[in-house]
Amino acid sequence: MRKKSKQTKKATSGAAMNRRKFMGTLAAAAGTTAVAGSLSPFAPSVNAETVHFAANTPGMGGAGPFRTECDIRDCDVEGEIPSNIDGAFYRVGPDWQYPPMAGNIPFDGEGHVSMFRIQNGHVDFKSRYPRTQRFKAQAAARKRLFGMYRNPFSDDPSVKGVSRGTANTHVVYHHGLLFSLKEDSPPVAMNPLTLDTVDDYYTFGGGLHSLTHTAHPKFDNATGEMISYGYEAKGLATDDVYIFSANAKGHITWETWIKVPYVGMIHDFAVSQKYIAFLILPMATNVERMKQGQVHFAWDSTLPTWFGVLERGGDGKDVRWFKGPERCATHVMGAFSDGNKIYVDMDMALKNQFPFFPNLHGEPFDPKAAAGTVHRLSVDLSDKTPRDYNMEELYPQTGALPRQDDRYQTIPYRYGFMPTSDPTKPINPRLGNVAFRPTNCYTMFDHATRKTSQFWIGDDSSLQECCFVPRHKGAGEGDGYLIGVATRMLEAGRSDLVIVDTQHMDDKPIATVRLPFRSYSQVHGWWVPGEDLPKV
Ligand SMILES: [Fe+2]
């Protein structure tokens, strides 16, 4: 049986209650309490099919999905973890529960959350699938029931009304709950210590008035607020965006709505002390293609970008839109305002950065045009006439998944971080001809000097997204560690967690946590200081 927090009890809206009642029967079969090393036991369904993952299953690199929930007490650590590192590094990524529909994309796998709990120089590892409504329905049926990425037209009729959310994109922490997030659905709330799912459709006590919720909320560390939004908020392909702020206790205290110039992916957004900004990209939602069995998005190179700005706490009808050229930019490194100006730093490329989202007009995927670099977008809201936003490339290094010292979200900041690919670094000849140059560095960007420093993982490995960990409570901005997972390509993709000192980026990691397996690929991760975690 699930044990629910007070918040999650209050969170149950009428609609969610109906869904939960329906899912309750499935939960009884699929189990909601994770069992180390196995999926939960359940009764076999009729017409069960043999489960087999083809070698070309997307996102698996021919190695098969991970599909293993596990606990490791006292991981193998090479080097020494400073005793002042106390907290939990959470990460999430897609990990197929069942073989996907032919033609589906890696981003549609079920979310799998893992936690590295670091304390007193020791590391304990735990991984669990969030028990999404989708996961439980499929577990009960012993087969895939959901079709293509964000395409409800391709689903088995039996799951009509069941949340399609995979909770596979980002994991963040607020008011005592760990949220596993996918932008097409409300958060899935988990116990941050056990990784048990405590609410598969979290609505902030019924206050969330959107059918969706971004994977990239922002946090105002001065107030404890979580500022967030949902796009396609009133249903598939709707042009409504819902924006809200939840206070430190998880109560929604402000909400507003805006309409977007066209419907497309709004994967991330920017929040400063004064403003909220969205970049609308040509990654357009395409219902006609969905009805033909395709994925949710296609890149429409005829569309401009639009930079929309509204005031925090304001009315969505006052949003102002500024035009820009075709560009792809999915993640915000940091954002701040200065008077009536807002500045937003993003990794930005000329063209579609996702080879598995098709170009609508038949252009071939262009890896060079897809290479992102850090750009600064800005507008001056005191100028009543501008029609365009400003755009400046800050650095030449190419990469994706930029981050910052998260204590500086919403305020002026100096340091950013990003996994990058350095073409001057060698590739181990034993790897042969690699199709794509690996992401082999973490780069630290100093916006005050425009200088960079770089950690190189070596010639046989690649790096996933990193998180910043302060050296200690009260440490200066950027003074601490980068933490992230490395893939050992000469060891069948085995996974290591590396910890890098930001004061010595050109050194080897101060510690490497060696996992005895190849974990699934992470999309995003989050660091929670130990003092912020619930007490055991
Ligand atoms: Fe993201």
- Identify the band that residue 15 occupies on the pLDDT scale cut at 50, 70 and 90: very low
Task: Tell how far the Cα of 44 is from the centroid of ligand 1, in angstroms.
Answer: 36
Task: Tell how far the Cα of 140 is from the centroid of ligand 1, in angstroms.
Answer: 30
Give the per-residue pLDDT at 12. 37
Return the structure tokens found at 426: 């060698």
Task: Tell how far the Cα of 384 is from the centroid of ligand 1, in angstroms.
Answer: 32
Task: Tell how far the Cα of 183 is from the centroid of ligand 1, in angstroms.
Answer: 9
Task: Tell how far the Cα of 505 is from the centroid of ligand 1, in angstroms.
Answer: 25
Task: Tell how far the Cα of 205 is from the centroid of ligand 1, in angstroms.
Answer: 25
Task: Tell how far the Cα of 139 is from the centroid of ligand 1, in angstroms.
Answer: 27
Task: Tell how far the Cα of 185 is from the centroid of ligand 1, in angstroms.
Answer: 15
Task: Tell how far the Cα of 77 is from the centroid of ligand 1, in angstroms.
Answer: 29
Write the single-letter amino acid at 404.
Answer: Q
Task: Tell how far the Cα of 331 is from the centroid of ligand 1, in angstroms.
Answer: 6
Give the per-residue pLDDT at 64. 77
- Identify the band that residue 31 occupies on the pLDDT scale cut at 50, 70 and 90: very low
Task: Tell how far the Cα of 376 is from the centroid of ligand 1, in angstroms.
Answer: 18
137 in Cβ contact with 200 (< 8 Å): no
Task: Tell whether the model's pLDDT for residue 424 goes beyond 50.
Answer: yes
Task: Tell whether the model's pLDDT for residue 392 goes beyond 90.
Answer: yes
Q: Which of 28-37, 165-174, 230-239 has the lowest mean pLDDT?
A: 28-37
More confident call, 43 vs 487: 487
Task: Tell how far the Cα of 181 is from the centroid of ligand 1, in angstroms.
Answer: 10
Task: Tell how far the Cα of 525 is from the centroid of ligand 1, in angstroms.
Answer: 10
- Summarize pLDDT for 307-347 with one digit per residue, the tens: 999 999 999 999 999 999 999 999 999 999 999 999 999 99
Enumerate the domain spans of the chain: 1-46+81-202, 419-536
In the chain, % of residues over pLDDT 70? 90
- Identify the band that residue 27 occupies on the pLDDT scale cut at 50, 70 and 90: very low
Rounded-to-integer distance, Cα 280 and Cα 267, Å = 9
- Summarize pLDDT for 199-257 with one digit per residue, the tens: 999 999 999 999 999 999 999 999 999 999 999 999 999 999 999 999 999 999 999 99
Give the per-residue pLDDT at 5. 38
Task: Tell whether the model's pLDDT for residue 46 goes beyond 50.
Answer: no
Query: What average pLDDT does this structure show over 181-186?
Result: 98
Task: Tell how far the Cα of 332 is from the centroid of ligand 1, in angstroms.
Answer: 9
- Per this entry, what is the length of the chain? 536
267 in Cβ contact with 232 (< 8 Å): no
Task: Tell how far the Cα of 264 is from the centroid of ligand 1, in angstroms.
Answer: 15
- Summarize pLDDT for 290-310 with one digit per residue, the tens: 999 999 999 999 999 999 999
- Identify the band that residue 57 occupies on the pLDDT scale cut at 50, 70 and 90: confident
- Identify the band that residue 97 occupies on the pLDDT scale cut at 50, 70 and 90: very high
- Summarize pLDDT for 470-492 with one digit per residue, the tens: 999 999 999 999 999 999 999 99
- Going by C-alpha positions, the residue among 160, 182, 159 that lies closest to residue 171 is 182
Rounded-to-integer distance, Cα 418 and Cα 400, Å = 6
Rounded-to-integer distance, Cα 354 and Cα 297, Å = 10
In the chain, % of residues over pLDDT 90? 85
- Going by C-alpha positions, the residue among 194, 164, 169, 193 that lies closest to residue 180 is 169
Task: Tell how far the Cα of 43 is from the centroid of ligand 1, in angstroms.
Answer: 36
Give the per-residue pLDDT at 20. 42
Task: Tell how far the Cα of 401 is from the centroid of ligand 1, in angstroms.
Answer: 7
Task: Tell whether the model's pLDDT for residue 48 goes beyond 90.
Answer: no
- Identify the band that residue 7 occupies on the pLDDT scale cut at 50, 70 and 90: very low
Task: Tell how far the Cα of 341 is from the centroid of ligand 1, in angstroms.
Answer: 25
Task: Tell how far the Cα of 400 is from the centroid of ligand 1, in angstroms.
Answer: 10
Give the per-residue pLDDT at 33. 34
- Going by C-alpha positions, the residue among 485, 497, 396, 385 that lies closest to residue 443 is 396
Query: What average pLDDT does this structure show over 430-438?
Result: 81
Task: Tell how far the Cα of 226 is from the centroid of ligand 1, in angstroms.
Answer: 17
Give the per-residue pLDDT at 192. 98
Return the structure tokens found at 282: 């040509």
Task: Tell how far the Cα of 247 is from the centroid of ligand 1, in angstroms.
Answer: 23
Task: Tell how far the Cα of 135 is from the centroid of ligand 1, in angstroms.
Answer: 21
Distances in Å between the alpha carbon of 371 and those of 279, 352, 501? 18, 9, 27
Residue with tokens 């670091």: 118
503 in Cβ contact with 485 (< 8 Å): no
Task: Tell how far the Cα of 145 is from the centroid of ligand 1, in angstroms.
Answer: 25
Task: Tell how far the Cα of 513 is from the centroid of ligand 1, in angstroms.
Answer: 25
Query: What average pLDDT does this structure show over 276-280?
Result: 98
Task: Tell whether the model's pLDDT for residue 140 goes beyond 50.
Answer: yes
Query: What average pLDDT does this structure show over 150-176?
Result: 98
Query: What average pLDDT does this structure show over 503-516?
Result: 98
Task: Tell how far the Cα of 214 is from the centroid of ligand 1, in angstroms.
Answer: 9
Give the per-residue pLDDT at 62. 58
Task: Tell how far the Cα of 24 is from the centroid of ligand 1, in angstroms.
Answer: 31
Task: Tell how far the Cα of 523 is from the centroid of ligand 1, in angstroms.
Answer: 7
